[in-house]
Amino acid sequence: MDDRRSTPDDRPAGAGVPAREGAGSDGRPTDGVAGGMAVAAADTVSRDVPEARRATASQRWAELSEQRRNRVLFAVFAIFVLAYPLIDRGLGWNRMGSMNPILVFVLLALGLNIVVGFAGLLDLGYAAFFAIGGYTVAFLTAPQSPLVQRGFQTDFWVALIVAFVVAAVFGVILGAPTLRLRGDYLAIVTLAFGEIVPRTFLNLEGLTNGSKGMNPIGRPHAGDVELLASDQVPWYYLILAILAFSIFVINRLHGSRLGRAWMAMREDEIAAASMGIDLVKTKLLAFSLGASFSGFGGAMYASMLQFIDPFQFDFSISIMLLAMVILGGIGNLWGVLFGGLLMGAFNFIWVESAANWIRSLSTNPGLGFLAAVDLNNSKLMLFGGALVLMMLLRPEGIFPSAQRKAELKGARAAIPVTVPGIEESLHDARQGEQVAGGGR
């Protein structure tokens, strides 16, 4: 007789095993339970897949070098800018009339960044060169100009180049008497220059038509086709092309020997002069080249509006341009570009939209006091508040240059280099100082 007890392996399938709820006689789950389990598994997988994909995408983005990330972001930004007219029309924004002035002011901010960001020269009268560029085109193309009345009328493209050169010459005229000035004193002189130029255009009524202004002004053309003020999309791409050309030139200047001389002068003029940098030439080139791009912007602005008068170039223009440079990041070309677009959108689009929204709210019961709120007259206050917040929260700007970020964050701007022999001598000297200090 075999006394062996049956093990679970010797039992028939299902013998001695309690049937599970919802299971068949063979122990397998029924169709309903299997379906529920499949749905639960599919739901779990569907939740895990997007998270895994996001984690993978984040990991791949982190593994990219900073240079490649910047290239990707720049490519996305360039596609958006190039396709903006289509986006504006498709979404019904109807903001093409505001985008063209914004691009002009971005061009001005890039020129100011040469003076303030690269060379470290505080310029509070940059709007003067804006006016000089606009009036140069008006003198050469407007019917009220004495030159045009005497038969000397030029093409717009020629006037555009002349405006570039004339603004550069006036940049040298401003820079020459300020060679020995720094900081606050330089800011006061440039502020005075920025106030003198518009008042001069206002008082020379025989040449500039005074407060009445000058119009019409020469327009860009290709053959017999001229751009009208209502041709907003062609104006957009024309200003964008000039802006792209200016970015290319300024970027090349920044990486050139002259650009390195500007940065050395910005850090320490005495040290730069001791290294053989001609401070006179370097400062004059900074003022002239910065002013020349403002002349570009003034010529395009006057031709686009088909009207120019001295009241378009008040002190608030210089403050807004300086705010663009500080907000974006002093010394960083792409940061200033972003800051210019941000401040320009605030000035030309968001303030107006917010004012209309507040005005619509004032019609509701109990909100009638909002009718007295006028954001359009509070732009300078808002600019000042934005600058104060930036100085407190992020003094280096939104996208600062690497060197300025290192300076303000207390990090080292350069990688230390160990020279054999010197490091050991310094280490021995430090140990000697510690021993001498402990023996006192």
> pLDDT (tens digit, 9 = 90+) per residue, 289-298?
999 999 989 9
Q: Is residue 65 in a domain?
A: no
60-113 pLDDT per residue, tens: 656 566 667 777 877 888 888 889 889 888 888 888 888 999 999 999 999 999
Tokens of 241: 């092309």
* Residue 179: pLDDT band with limits 50, 70, 90: confident
CA distances from 157 to 152, 161, 243, 250, 267 (A): 15, 7, 16, 21, 39
Q: Is residue 384 in a domain?
A: yes
Q: In the prediction, which pLDDT does 247 show?
A: 92
Q: Is residue 12 in a domain?
A: no
Residues 6+ apart with CB under 8 A from 45: none
Q: 80-97 burial string, b = 16+ CB within 10 Å, else e?
A: ebeebbeebeeeeeebee
Q: Is residue 431 in a domain?
A: no
Q: Is residue 18 in a domain?
A: no
Q: Is residue 148 in a domain?
A: yes
Look over the chain and give the mean of its residue pLDDT values, rounded to a whole number: 79
Q: In the prediction, which pLDDT does 45 show?
A: 46
* Contact (CB, 8 A) for 162 and 298: no
Q: In the prediction, which pLDDT does 412 show?
A: 43
What percentage of the chain exceeds 70 in pLDDT?
75
Torsion region of 16: left, alpha or beta (phi above 0 gives left; psi -120 to 50 gives alpha)? left
Treating both helix axes as pointing N-terminal to C-terminal, what angle do 156-175 and 183-203 enclose, rounded to 10 degrees?
A: 140
269-306 pLDDT per residue, tens: 889 888 888 888 999 999 999 999 999 899 999 999 98
136 pLDDT more than 90: yes
Between vectors from CA 439 to CA 434 and to CA 440, what angle results, nearest 5°?
105
223-279 pLDDT per residue, tens: 777 788 778 888 999 999 999 999 999 999 988 999 899 989 988 888 988 888 888
Q: 392-414 burial string, b = 16+ CB within 10 Å, else e?
A: eeeebbbbbbeebbeeeeeeeee
* Contact (CB, 8 A) for 118 and 263: yes
pTM score above 0.85: no
Can you tell me the distance from the alpha carbon of 98 to that of 239, in angstroms, rounded to the nearest whole number?
13
Q: Give long-range contacts, CB 8 A cutoff, 24+ apart: 163-166.
A: 163/132, 163/133, 163/134, 163/136, 163/137, 163/295, 163/296, 163/298, 163/299, 164/133, 164/292, 164/295, 164/296, 164/299, 165/292, 165/295, 166/132, 166/133, 166/136, 166/295
Q: How many structural domains compose the chain?
A: 1
CA distances from 16 to 10, 281, 301, 402 (A): 11, 101, 93, 75
Q: In the prediction, which pLDDT does 67 show?
A: 65
370 pLDDT more than 80: no
Q: Is residue 45 in a domain?
A: no
> Stretch 1-15: mean pLDDT, rounded?
47
**Better-scored residue on pLDDT, 416 or 117:** 117
Omega cis (within 30) before 216: yes
Can you tell me the distance from the alpha carbon of 117 to that of 432, in angstroms, rounded to the nearest whole number?
44
414-430 pLDDT per residue, tens: 444 444 444 444 445 44
Domain range enclosing 84: 75-409
Q: Is residue 4 in a domain?
A: no
